[in-house]
Chain A
Amino acid sequence: MAVVARSPFDLVELSASGRGSVSSTLRDVMGEHLPFVWRTLRRHGVREPDLPDQCQEVFLVVHRKLDEFRGDSSLRTWLYGIALRVAAGYRRKAHVTRESPEAAPPDSVLEAGQEQDLERKRALDRLRVLLAEVEPARREVFVLFELEELSMSEVAKVVGCPLRTAYAWYDSVRAHVQRRWEATP
Chain B
Amino acid sequence: MSQEPRRLLEETASPPSLQAALKAARQEGPSADQARAVSLGLGGLLDRPIDLTPKPAAASGAAAAKIGGLVAVVVALGATGAYVASRSAPAVPGTLGAGAPAAAREVANAALNRASKPEPSAAAEVAAEAPAVLPAASSPRAPTSAAAPGASSGPSELVLLERARAALANEPARALALTNEHRRRFPHGALAEEREVIAIRALEKLGRGKEAAQRGSAFEQQNPDSIHRRTVTEKK
A149 to B90 alpha-carbon distance, docked (Å): 22
Q: Is the CB of B4 within 8 A of A152?
A: yes
Closest to B41 in A: A56
Nearest A residue (CB) for B59: A67
B52 with A24: CB separation less than 8 A: yes
A26 touches B81 (CB 8 A): no
**Chain B proximity of A73: nearest CB distance (Å):** 6
**CB proximity to B under 8 Å, residues A92-112:** 92-94, 96-97, 101, 104, 107-108, 110
B8: Cβ under 8 A from any A Cβ = yes
- Chain A interfacial residues counted at CB < 8 A: 113
Stretch at the interface among B18-26, B176-184, B208-216: B18-26
Task: Count chain A CB atoms within 10 A of each CB in B61, B133, B136, B159 and give the residue with the most.
Answer: B133
Contact A161 B54 (CB under 8 A): no
From B59, B70, B85, B227, give the contact of A91 (CB < 8 A). Answer: B227
Query: Residue B35 at the A interface, CB < 8 A?
Result: yes
Q: How far is the CA of A66 from the CA of B67 in the complex (A)?
A: 14
State whether B98 touches A63 (Cβ < 8 A): no
Q: How far is the CA of A73 from the CA of B165 in the complex (A)?
A: 30
Interface residues of B in 71-108 (CB under 8 A from A): 71-91, 95-100, 105, 108
Shortest CB distance B81–A (Å): 7
Residue of A nearest to B9 (CB): A146
Known: A38-B30, A67-B60, A147-B26. A135 touches B162 (CB 8 A): yes
Give the residues in chain B near A92, CB-CB below 8 Å: 193, 225-227
| Closest-CB distance, A84 to chain B (whole angstroms) | 4
**Contact indicator per residue, chain B 36-57, by CB within 8 Å of chain A (1) or not (0):** 0111011001111111111111
Give the number of A-B contacts (CB < 8 Å): 336
Query: Is B121 an interface residue when CB atoms closer than 8 A count as contact?
Result: no
B15 near A23 (CB under 8 angstroms)? Answer: no
Judged by a CB distance under 8 angstroms, whether A136 is at the interface is yes
Q: Residue on A with the closest CB to B100?
A: A35
Q: Are A26 and B7 in contact (CB under 8 A)?
A: no
Are A78's CB and B67's CB within 8 A? yes
CB <8 Å contact, A123 and B24: yes
Q: Lowest 9 CB-CB distances: which A-B pairs, in order?
A: A160-B72, A71-B54, A35-B29, A123-B21, A81-B67, A94-B225, A31-B109, A108-B90, A68-B63
Task: Identify 19 new A-B residue pairs, CB closer than 8 A, beyond the known A23-B50, A69-B64.
Answer: A32-B105, A38-B30, A42-B86, A46-B86, A55-B38, A57-B131, A65-B63, A69-B52, A69-B54, A84-B75, A89-B134, A97-B226, A107-B88, A126-B21, A127-B25, A128-B86, A131-B83, A149-B7, A160-B156
**27 pairs of residues in contact across A and B, judged by CB atoms under 8 Å:** A18-B54, A22-B51, A25-B50, A35-B30, A35-B97, A39-B29, A43-B82, A45-B82, A45-B227, A48-B86, A52-B37, A66-B51, A69-B54, A70-B57, A70-B64, A71-B54, A71-B55, A78-B67, A80-B67, A81-B66, A87-B74, A88-B78, A94-B224, A132-B83, A135-B165, A136-B77, A178-B8
